[in-house]
Amino acid sequence: MEKHNIIVRLATAGDKHYAETITTEMEESAKARGTGIAKRSPAYIEKKMEEGKAVIAVNPDGTWVGFCYIEAWEHGKYVANSGLIVAPAFRKTGVATDIKKRIFQLSREMYPTSKIFGLTTGLAVMKINSDLGYEPVTYSELTSDEEFWKGCKSCVNYEILMSKGRKNCMCTAMLFDPAEAEEKVKAAEAARAAKAEEEKKAVSTTVSSEGELVHHRHRHFQGNLTLFDRWVRFKQFVLLKAKRKDDDNGDTPDKKRSLLSIFFW
């Protein structure tokens, strides 16, 4: 099915009637994958809607399409975009990407300094996260809040998680660090500014005899000067080759120069 007129928006208390449908689909999807997200009750989903910490996707006719919500840990130091789910009939339409982008934007607005993380086994979600600026990390870089890890108890792979000392499991951990993201933006801006300045220096302006402005671009040689010198000699050798033939009709050895001597004299 193609994505037509699907509305992705902030969920409100008026969307509570979707809560049971959402939790049922979450549970069924987890069973089908053989892995899963923490099981949530309709009441929990309703609370997220009331708090303005959820994004919902619906058709104009009111058909439920998808959902995702925000959880905060360690007093907002860490934020998770959890429970991403799309109704089966609307999968592979691109709506999951739209939901993830909107919930990520909402997280940045509500928790601008928080690290945003996620645990997932889905390659599609990993791709979306990567496009948003997430990077794969070890579990040790995620929240240490016990309440978060308790949420994994409903996952079929919980025993694997605990057997690994909560350091690894079937899910891939991904993290968006706003501080690191800001540094990357600053570095990119500095690089662009430096390039613009170089280009500006490489152009000079003069006035022609007709009174028109003429822009001159100066090319900067940044290579090896010795190699450049040898190239100039080679160029001279080629251009003057014909003249040398005329001058050397007598075949005088001391007047001839080999190509090797041009490069290494």
**Residue 53 above 90 pLDDT?**
yes
Q: Are 116 and 175 in contact (CB under 8 A)?
A: yes
Question: What does the pLDDT read at residue 197?
Answer: 79
Residue 153 in any domain: the answer is yes
Q: Residues 142, 115: contact at Cβ < 8 Å?
A: no
Average pLDDT rounded to a whole number, residues 191-220: 69
Domain interval for residue 126: 7-182
Who contacts 20 (Cβ-Cβ below 8 Å, separation ≥6)? 42
Q: How many domains does the chain have?
A: 1
In a domain, 144, yes or no: yes
Q: What digits encode the pLDDT tens for the residues 134-164?
A: 999 999 999 999 988 888 887 878 889 999 9
Total-model pTM: 0.69
* Distance from C-alpha of 104 to C-alpha of 202, rounded to nearest angstrom: 42
Whether 132 has a pLDDT exceeding 90, the answer reads yes
Asked if residue 123 is part of any domain, the answer here is yes
Stated as kind and residue range, the H or E segment containing 64 is strand 64-73
**Does a structural domain hold residue 187?**
no
Q: What is the 3-state secondary structure (H, E, C) of 87-104?
A: CHHHCCCCHHHHHHHHHH
Q: How confident is the model at residue 185 (pLDDT cuts 50, 70, 90)?
A: confident
3-state secondary structure of 130: helix
Report the CATH number at residue 117. Answer: 3.40.630.30
Mean pLDDT, residues 75-89? 93
When computed from its CA atoms, the radius of gyration of the chain, rounded to whole angstroms, is 32
| Of 147, 146, 142, residue with least CA distance to 171 | 142
Structural domain includes residue 219: no
Residue listed under structure tokens 């037509």: 4
Structure tokens at 200: 């500006």
Q: In which region does residue 38 sit, left (phi positive, over 0), alpha (psi from -120 to 50) or beta (all else)?
A: beta
Q: How does the average pLDDT of the chain come out, rounded? A: 83
Contact 45, 69 (CB under 8 A): yes
Structure confidence by residue, pLDDT tens digits, 222-262: 556 666 667 667 767 766 665 666 666 655 555 455 554 54
In-domain check, residue 122? yes
Give me the mean pLDDT over the 178-187 stretch.
Answer: 90
> Looking at residue 30, what is its pLDDT?
77
Is there a domain that residue 189 lies in? no
